[in-house]
C-alpha cells in the first residue's frame, strides 16, 4: 500500500505510456493484417485502408471495446491472491505491456503477422507463474482462450469457404456474372451491416449509457443493414459494364463490383478488430488505473474510464500509420492471390468471427482468424492456390510469440520491482 501511495502518480503515467506503446504495436501489426486483404486485393489503396482503419478501428475500440477488456483485466489471473501486494500486480501489468509492445515492434519491423493476444496473455501468464506463483493464474480461463486460438481460424476458414462457395454458386458460375453481382451483392452488404450493428448495440453502447433489449437491437440492426444495403445498391448502380465482351472483360467488371463491397467489409473488419483487440492494450492499463485510483485495493470495482479506451484507440491508429505497411505486404500478397471477390469472403468471415468473439467476451487472436479466413478462400480454389512456405513461416512466428512475451515480461517485472521496491 505504501508503494502505491508514494509512487501512484508515477506508476499511472508509466502505465499510460506503456498502454499507448502496446496499442501502437497492435496498430502496426494486427490492424495491418486486418487491412492486408483489402490492399492485397487492390480494393483499397494503402492510404485508403489507413483512413478506413483510423475511423472504424477507433469507433470499434471506443464503443465496443470494454466487454473483452474485462476478460484481459480480471480473467487471466486471480487478483485476490495479490490483495496484500497490489504493487506486484501493477508491476506485472506494466511489464506485460512493455514486453508485448517490444515484441510487436520487432515483429512489425520484419513484417511478421503475430498475435497481439498471444503476446499480452503470454506476458501476463509468464510474470504471474514465475514471479507470483502458478496459483495466481486462472488456468481454466487460459485454457479456454488457448482453445479459441484453434477454434477461431477453423471457424473463420469454414465461414469464408462457405461465403466464397455461395458467391460462386450465385454469381461466378453464371454467364451474366455482372448483372447477378449487382443483384446479390446488396444482400451481402446487409449481412455486414447487421452483424456490426448488433455487436455495437448489444455490447458497445452500454459503455456510453445506452442499453437496448435484444429484440430492439435486432430491429435496429436490420434497419441499419437495410440502409447500408441501399447505399451499396446506389453505388453499384453507378458501375457500368464495359463493352468488352471477352471473359477477361467480364471478370474485370465483376471484380469492380466486389471492390465496392470490400469497402464495406473493410469497414466492418476494422470495427470488429478495434472492438476485440483494444483489450490487449487497455486491459492491463485499466487494472493499473483501478489499483492506483483506489489506493491499492486490488478487488475494488470501478467503471472503465472512457479516457483509457481513448488511449488505446489513439495508439492503434498511430501504429498503423507509422509501420503497418510491412505486415500489410505479408498478409495481403504472400499467402494466396487475392481478388476483391476472394478478399470480400475472407474479410466478412473474419469480421463475423471476431464480433461473435467480442460479444462473448473471448479475446481471440485476430491474426489467427484472418489467416484462417484467407486460407479458407484459398482452399476453395484448391491447395495449390496457397503458398504453404509462407503459411509455415507465419505459424512459426505464432509459436515464438508466447515464449518471447513471457520471457520479456519476467525480465521487466524484476526491473520494475528493483526500481520501485
Phi, psi of 280 (to 5 degrees): -65, -25
CB atoms within 10 A of CB 178: 22
Q: Are 217 and 204 in contact (CB under 8 A)?
A: no
d(CA 419, CA 97): 17
Is residue 73 within 8 Å of 308, Cβ to Cβ? no
Lowest-confidence segment of 255-264, 352-361, 393-402 by average pLDDT: 352-361
Measuring CA to CA, which residue among 45, 17, 114 is closest to residue 314? Answer: 17
Dihedral angle, C-alpha 340, 343, 348, 350, nearest 10 °: -170
Residue of higher predicted confidence among 140 and 298: 140
Q: Looking at residue 246, what is its pLDDT?
A: 62
Please check the confidence at residue 268 and state whether its pLDDT lies above 70: yes
Which has the higher per-residue pLDDT, 348 or 226?
226
How many alpha carbons fall within 13 Å on the CB side of residue 182?
13
User: Alpha-carbon distance 128 to 134, whole Å?
Assistant: 7
For residue 164, give the C-alpha cell. 466464397
What was the pLDDT predicted at 159? 87
Give this prediction's pTM.
0.80
* Mean pLDDT, residues 70-86: 67
Selection from 417, 294, 311, 298 nearest residue 18 by Cα: 311
Q: Residue 363: pLDDT band by 50, 70, 90 thresholds?
A: low
pLDDT band for 204, please (50, 70, 90 cuts): low
Q: Which three cell numbers stand for residue 143?
A: 485454457
Alpha-carbon dihedral sign for residues 406, 407, 411, 417: positive
Altogether, the residues listed in the chain come to a count of 421
Output 211 or 153, whichever has higher pLDDT.
Answer: 153
51 has a pLDDT exceeding 70:
yes
Quote the radius of gyration of the chain (alpha carbons, Å).
22
pLDDT of residue 223: 95
pLDDT reading at 53 higher than 70? yes
Q: What is the pLDDT of residue 270?
A: 78
**Mean pLDDT score across all residues of the chain:** 80
| CA distances for 63 relative to 41, 190, 200, 276, 397, angstroms | 29, 21, 7, 11, 31
Q: What is the sign, positive or negative, of the torsion defined by CA atoms of 301, 302, 304, 308?
A: negative
Question: Angle between the 306-323 and 46-64 helix axes, to the nearest 10 degrees?
Answer: 160
> Lowest-pLDDT range, 72-86, 217-231, 255-269, 371-385?
72-86
* Residue from 247, 407, 268 nearest 350 by CA: 268
Confidence of residue 57 (pLDDT cuts 50, 70, 90): confident
The answer to whether 65 and 316 are in contact (CB under 8 A) is: no
Place 118 in a pLDDT band, splitting at 50, 70 and 90: confident
Q: What is the pLDDT of residues 93-115, one digit of tens each?
A: 899 999 999 999 999 988 888 88
| Number of structural domains found in the chain | 1
Q: How far apart are CA 236 and CA 22, in angstroms?
A: 39
Domain ranges, residue 22: 2-420
What confidence score (pLDDT) does residue 72 get? Answer: 57
pLDDT at 140: 77
- Cβ(30)–Cβ(272) below 8 Å: no
Question: In the predicted model, is pLDDT for residue 247 greater than 80?
Answer: no
Report the sign of the C-alpha dihedral through residues 151, 156, 159, 161, in that order: negative
Amino acid at each position: 500500500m505504501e508503494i502505491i501511495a508514494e509512487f501512484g502518480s508515477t506508476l499511472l503515467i508509466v502505465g499510460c505510456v506503456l498502454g499507448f506503446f502496446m496499442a501502437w504495436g497492435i496498430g502496426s501489426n494486427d490492424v495491418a493484417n486486418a487491412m492486408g486483404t483489402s490492399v492485397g486485393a487492390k480494393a483499397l489503396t494503402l492510404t485508403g485502408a489507413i483512413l478506413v482503419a483510423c475511423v472504424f478501428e477507433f469507433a470499434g475500440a471506443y464503443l465496443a471495446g470494454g466487454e473483452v477488456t474485462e476478460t484481459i483485466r480480471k480473467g487471466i489471473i486471480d487478483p485476490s491472491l495479490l490483495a496484500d501486494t497490489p504493487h506486484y500486480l501493477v508491476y506485472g501489468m506494466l511489464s506485460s505491456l512493455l514486453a508485448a509492445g517490444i515484441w510487436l515492434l520487432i515483429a512489425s519491423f520484419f513484417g511478421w503477422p503475430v498475435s497481439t493476444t498471444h503476446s499480452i496473455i503470454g506476458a501476463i501468464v509468464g510474470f504471474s507463474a514465475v514471479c507470483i506463483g502458478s496459483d495466481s493464474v486462472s488456468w481454466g480461463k487460459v485454457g479456454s482462450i488457448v482453445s479459441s486460438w484453434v477454434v477461431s481460424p477453423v471457424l473463420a476458414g469454414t465461414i469464408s469457404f462457405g461465403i466464397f462457395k455461395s458467391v460462386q454458386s450465385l454469381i461466378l458460375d453464371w454467364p451474366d456474372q455482372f448483372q447477378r453481382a449487382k443483384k446479390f451483392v446488396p444482400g451481402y452488404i446487409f449481412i455486414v451491416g447487421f452483424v456490426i450493428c448488433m455487436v455495437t448495440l448489444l455490447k458497445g453502447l452500454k459503455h456510453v449509457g445506452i442499453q437496448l433489449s435484444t429484440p430492439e437491437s435486432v430491429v435496429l440492426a436490420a434497419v441499419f443493414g437495410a440502409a447500408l444495403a441501399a447505399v451499396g445498391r446506389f453505388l453499384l448502380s453507378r458501375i457500368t459494364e464495359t463493352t468488352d465482351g471477352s471473359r477477361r472483360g467480364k471478370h474485370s467488371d465483376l471484380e469492380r463490383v466486389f471492390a465496392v463491397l470490400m469497402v464495406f467489409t473493410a469497414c466492418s473488419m476494422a470495427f470488429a478488430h478495434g472492438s476485440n483487440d483494444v483489450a490487449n492494450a487497455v486491459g492491463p492499463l485499466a487494472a493499473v488505473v483501478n489499483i492506483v485510483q483506489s489506493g491499492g485495493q486490488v478487488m475494488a470495482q470501478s467503471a472503465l474510464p472512457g479516457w483509457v479506451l481513448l488511449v488505446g484507440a489513439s495508439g492503434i491508429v498511430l501504429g498503423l500509420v507509422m509501420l503497418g505497411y510491412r505486415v500489410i505486404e505479408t498478409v495481403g500478397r504472400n499467402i494466396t492471390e487475392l481478388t476483391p471477390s476472394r478478399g470480400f469472403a475472407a474479410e466478412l468471415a473474419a469480421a463475423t468471427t471476431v464480433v461473435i468473439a467480442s460479444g462473448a467476451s473471448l479475446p481471440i487472436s485476430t491474426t489467427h482468424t484472418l489467416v484462417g479466413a484467407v486460407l479458407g478462400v484459398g482452399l476453395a480454389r484448391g491447395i495449390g492456390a496457397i503458398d504453404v512456405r509462407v503459411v509455415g513461416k507465419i505459424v512459426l512466428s505464432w509459436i515464438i510469440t508466447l515464449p518471447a512475451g513471457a520471457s520479456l515480461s519476467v525480465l521487466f517485472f524484476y526491473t520494475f520491482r528493483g526500481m520501485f521496491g
